[in-house]
């Protein structure tokens, strides 16, 4: 039995399909950002003769937003924790969020394991004396040589 449904050959194909969707989104975002940059250049040095170019860039911007929206619809089941956006806002690498989550999970796991070990020891400490005294009484019942 597999621990998660994506394991095996089907999981690799699903991962590749998801990677392609992310690559497509990244490509559309890069094109959109480049279009916005070019639009900013046109607007900052606007001349009446550049109206056609401005209109064309605005239309490209609308098309780019539509393409991004199509990509978004393909990735509707992806959820990003808000803390990742906070990392980005702080200028930190979002991959640090994953690393720190794993470190916190490991620390919590060690803490819980310590509690379990303590409870096992206490259970043994509670049971052992009564079992020991029971055995001692049984031993006294036998005649001594």
Residues 55 and 14 in one domain: yes
pLDDT at 6 > cutoff 80: no
Could you give the CA distance from residue 117 to residue 102 in angstroms, rounded to a whole number? 22
**Final residue belonging to a domain, choices 78, 103, 128:** 78
Residue 72: which residues within 8 A CB-CB, separation 6 or more? 25
Lowest mean pLDDT among 21-25, 36-40, 136-140: 136-140
Phi, psi of 17 (to 5 degrees): -65, -40
Work out the percent of the chain whose per-residue pLDDT is above 90. Answer: 33
Are residues 74 and 86 both part of a single domain? no
Q: State whether 38 and 67 are in the same domain.
A: yes
Same domain as 14, residue 70: yes
Expressed as residue numbers, the domain containing 70 is 9-78
- Exposure b/e, 99-128, CB count within 10 A at least 16 = b: eeeeeeeeeeeeeeeeeeeeeeeeeeeeee
Nearest to 128 by CA among 118, 139, 116, 136: 136
100 and 74 both lie in a single domain: no
Structure confidence at residue 145 (pLDDT): 62
Q: What confidence tens digit (pLDDT) does each residue in 98-112 have?
A: 899 999 999 999 999
The count of domains in the chain is: 2
Interacting residues of 43 by C-beta distance below 8 A, sequence separation 6+:
54
Whether this prediction's pTM lies above 0.85 is answered by no
What is the average pLDDT across 106-131?
Answer: 85
């Amino acid at each position: 039995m597999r621990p998660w449904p994506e394991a095996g050959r089907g999981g690799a194909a699903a991962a590749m399909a998801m990677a392609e969707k992310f690559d497509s989104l990244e490509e559309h975002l890069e094109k959109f950002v480049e279009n916005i940059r070019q639009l900013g250049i046109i607007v900052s040095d606007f001349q009446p003769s550049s109206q056609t170019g401005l209109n064309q860039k605005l239309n490209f911007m609308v098309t780019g937003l539509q393409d991004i929206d199509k990509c978004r619809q393909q990735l509707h089941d992806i959820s990003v924790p808000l803390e990742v956006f906070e990392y980005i806002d702080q200028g930190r690498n979002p991959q640090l969020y994953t690393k720190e989550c794993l470190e916190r999970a490991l620390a919590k796991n060690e803490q819980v394991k310590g509690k379990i070990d303590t409870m096992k020891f206490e259970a043994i400490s509670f049971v052992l004396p009564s079992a020991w005294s029971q055995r001692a009484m049984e031993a006294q019942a036998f005649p001594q040589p």
